[in-house]
Structure 1
Amino acid sequence: MPLMTLTLILTILISNLMIFIALTLNKKSSNDIEKISPFECGFDPHSNPRIPFSIHFFLITIIFLIFDVEIAILIPIIMIFSISNLNQWFIISTFFILILIAGLYYEWNQNMLNWTN
């Protein structure tokens, strides 16, 4: 046990030392506004160089990924229908689908499924 504790302490010390050295030797300076401002051929930019990110698009993407994973879980449930006990299969499948419907109802109730606000 003492060897494990010593190894943990050494690992933490070495990693903290490496972080400190990296921060000390870092050549970036966030204090200079001219260096971090956008540059267009020597002129001030006419428009914002960064496109604003739509949080609604992000939410729709997350909802899609969640339901995509759920479909990947539903396929094996269908495949094991023939080799499992019918009562257990029905209870597990019903419970899983009820959880999916409850999640869909919650998202619908929060107006996450509307494309326009």
Structure 2
Amino acid sequence: MVSLLGIFFMSGFILLLVFTYHLLLFNKSLDYHNKGVWSSPFESGFSGHAVNINNFSVSFFILLVFFVVFDLEISLLLNLPTHPSIFKNFFFYFSFVLLICLGYLLEVNKGFVVWQG
């Protein structure tokens, strides 16, 4: 039992030495302000962890939400001929689709959705 415990501690100590060796040899500085960063934007397209740029557009998000809603509506419209019980509520369904279309046109009119060519 003692020899197994000794082997465990020796392997842990050797692992710690190897980790420290690699930390000090390959990463020349412990502050990550473009001194020890190996990847550059030229090589991999990754801009490093010192720069945080948010390029997410709000108009893209609004367009994404409209796409999801209209995609759901179209998928429901495609199932309409196969389920005759839906014809009873067709007026409510059509008024909901019309309301969504009018809301989209209102947002385009107000300038929330900008189409750039």
Give the alignment's TM-score, normalised by structure 2: 0.44
- Structure of greater relative contact order (alpha carbons < 8 Å, 6+ residues apart): 1
